Structure 1
Amino acid sequence: MRARLVARLVAAAQAPRILKYRLLSDCRMLGRPELLQPVQLTGRGEICFEGRVKIGVFPSPYFFNGYAYLEARNPGARISIGDGTWINNNFVAISEHKSITIGKNVLIGTFVEIFDSNFHGLEPERRRVSSPDEAAAVVVEDNVFIGSNVKILRGVTVGRDSVIANGSLVTRSLPPRVVAGGNPARVLKQL
């Protein structure tokens, strides 16, 4: 009885916030995720939710004062998230020129960030220019577990059934069925 009451109060508290971010969203969306936390979807590309995708976890940190942010910035950019994936609070994914593909049954911790671009050049005269040639697709294969505070950068593929430890910076691809961690992330052991 008490659990049902808490669930109803949580849903009532989040409903206006979820609506606010839905109204702020302007990106083409395919599918309907189950929103437990607000999500802002923005950009001129496409964001696709396949099957049942959950965004937000209660109880978990930053549930009431954060939101998820997904941006498919340019017309060719795409973010797709597979069936059974559950994303914890304050997730960020920005596809600027290519794509971010998250497979099925992926678990994503709080404050995870995934980017397909560096968003600017390194040379002083190119720091305000983002070239599609410098972007690369990101793929997170099925059944991956990504710990909290992980950053996954452009061009990375995370192999299926792998685990990425909290606080890791993933700068290069990881094979299937491994535990990886660190800055930069490296394989710590096979599963």
Structure 2
Amino acid sequence: MSLANYIKGNARLKKVFHWMLIPSDEARPRLWVRLFLNRFYHQKGRGVIIRSWVRMDVVPFNKFAIGNKSVIEDFSTINNGVGAVIIGHNSLIGLGNVIIGPVTIGDDVILAQNIVASGLNHNYNDISRPIRVQGVSTAPIVIEDNCWVGANAVITAGVTIGRQSIIAAGAVVTKNIPPYSVAVGNPARVIKKYDEEQQAWVKV
């Protein structure tokens, strides 16, 4: 049995190691994790730019990877505490984005400003107890290659946005979006699809 599996299988030991990485009731890792451990543990491609004012709530027990020549702009938050965050090559995470795993972003994706993509939901089954003590559930978000997501959009847990799609500014994506689609509104709905024969975007 590996050391990692041994720790995961021992509830008390797991709690101690978690506390060493992240202070109790907080999401941000301890300074030594951010400065030293993550630097050597996670995958970072060539020519990556992560701006100075990005909040990297990244821990070593879940994957974080970012591909070649991708950029994360200032005032964004990246959190892999409950699921991996994987960003492909040549992708842009715009100003003020919040990415909470599990989230996979493909190659050549553009996320504009103030987008929230969260694969996390808080459980609330027992109204006699505070929400914060009822745990969380996760469902992966996937944004496939060459998508463009407009400013202030929200992408909810469990959603896949198909390749070559456009999500309009302010849209709330609660269901899967097929490839080669334009989606708008709250909840987001597809209003156009790309027609290969006509070589044009066609209303649906």
Task: Please say if 1:183 is aligned against 2:189.
Answer: no
> Are the equivalent residues in 2 in contact too, given 1:116–1:138 (CA < 8 A)?
yes
What does residue 44 of structure 2 align with?
Answer: 31
Structure 2: distance between partners of 1:122 and 1:177:
38
- Higher mean alpha-carbon deviation, 142-151 vs 28-37, is at 28-37
Q: Match for 1:107 among 94, 110, 125?
A: 110
The aligned residue for residue 130 of structure 1 is 135
Q: Deviation at 1:130?
A: 2.2
Aligned residue pair count: 153
**Counterpart position of 2:63:** 46
* TM-score, normalization by structure 1: 0.73
Partner of 1:12: none
Residue of structure 2 equivalent to 1:83:
89
CA radius of gyration, larger in: 2
In structure 2, the gaps of 5 or more residues are 1-30, 195-204
> Which residue does 1:68 correspond to in 2?
76
TM-score by length of 2: 0.69
The match for 2:168 among 165, 169, 183 is 165
| Residue 31 of structure 1, CA deviation | 0.1
Partner AA of 1:83 in structure 2: H
| Structure 1, 32-41 or 103-112: larger mean CA deviation | 32-41
Instruction: Note if contact 2:58-2:64 (Cα within 8 Å) is conserved in structure 1.
Output: no
Secondary structure of 1:118's match? strand
Residue identity over aligned pairs, in percent, reads: 29
Paired with 2:154 and 2:176, the residues of 1 have a C-alpha distance of: 13
Amino acid at match of 2:66: F
Compare relative contact order (CA 8 Å, sep 6+) and give the higher one, 1 or 2: 1
Change (3 A) 1:34 1:43: closer
